[in-house]
Structure 1
Amino acid sequence: MAAIEDAPGKGLIAGISDHMVTLPEFYQLDSVPSEKMSPLLERQYLYGKESTFVKWTAKKGAVVPLHHHANEQVTWIVSGKATVYSQGKAYTMSAGDIMIFPPNVPHEFAFSEDTVDIDFFAPGRQDWMDGTASYYAK
């Protein structure tokens, strides 16, 4: 397990570090609670000041319905396989593939294998923070 310890003189920039009043936030992803979005889909997510990080765990047959959002989205399939539908095209994504969605581009996911999908959103997902996202198949 990773640890935080003092490292005098390391990670400092003169003129910048002197004025910082905050430190990086450190997490163990396995300790972040998992939220069940449907019987086949779970997510774990963290918020930064200007972004959202999410780990999706999808079982074969899981779906994220057609939707769009004001956030840029970077999707990385870590394991498994998914088909992404967007703008009349089907993209088959396998482990190691990355897709970048510009803001407001409609898209949906269909998982054809058990899959781990890491997503990064900028700016952060305000609709998740305030509970107004309504496109998940529950």
Structure 2
Amino acid sequence: MQPIELSAIPPRETAPGYSGRFIHTAGMTLAYFEIKAGSASPEHAHVHEQVSQVLEGVFQLTVSGEPVILRPGAVLVIPSNVPHSGLAITDCKLLDIFNPVREDFRK
């Protein structure tokens, strides 16, 4: 078993201002995002349970219409099929964990 170097994974833009590096296991996807201030993710929902942690910066997640401000160290769990959106208040680094695997992030 070898460690994975994030810097060796080519980043991919998933939305304007969202650059991600993805690690896929048998049952989950880890998404390391760098997000530019002011970049927004429109409201959406997916079958994946999502755990979001802010590593750097300030990020707003709106879950079922309720905005929550997240700062470094904060973790928020978004259940499966719950509508949510995001907004980078500052430049941010986030770790999002999805279960099951985000096949759309493999492409």
- TM-score, structure 2 normalization: 0.92
Give the C-alpha shift of residue 128 in structure 1.
Answer: 2.8
The 3 A distance-change label for structure 1 pair 113 and 87 is same
Structure 1 residue runs without a partner (length 5+) = 1-23, 132-138
Out of 75, 82, 89, the position equivalent to 1:98 is: 75
Could you tell me how far apart the structure 2 residues matched to 1:53 and 1:33 are?
14
Residues 101-120 of structure 1: CA distance to partner in whole angstroms, max 9, x if unpaired? 11111100000100000011
Return the structure number with greater relative CO, CA threshold 8 A, min gap 6. 2
**Structure 2 vs 1, CA of residues 90 and 72 (structure 1 numbering), >3 Å: closer, same or farther?**
same
**Distance verdict in 2 for CA 1:127–1:37, change over 3 Å:** closer
Partner of 2:25: 48
Q: Which runs of 5+ in 2 are unaligned?
A: none
Structure 1 stretches of at least 4 aligned residues deviating more than 6 Å after TM superposition: none
Please name the residue that 1:116 is paired with: 93
Report the more deviating stretch, 92-101 or 31-40.
Answer: 31-40
1: distance between equivalents of 2:39 and 2:64? 21
Which has the higher mean CA deviation after the structures are superposed, 98-107 or 38-47? 38-47
Which whole-Å CA distance do the structure 2 matches of 1:55 and 1:108 have between them?
Answer: 17
For residue 41 of structure 2, give the secondary structure of its aligned residue in structure 1.
Answer: strand
Amino acid at match of 1:97: A
- How many correspondences in the alignment? 107
Aligned with 1:96: secondary structure?
coil
Instruction: State the TM-score, normalized to the length of structure 1.
Output: 0.72
Identity across the alignment (%) = 24
Q: Which structure has the larger Rg over C-alpha atoms?
A: 1
2:59 corresponds to = 82
**Quick check: which one's strand share is greater?**
2
Greater shift in the superposed pair: 117-126 or 30-39 = 30-39
Whole-Å Cα distance in 1 between the matches of residues 18 and 48 of structure 2? Answer: 21
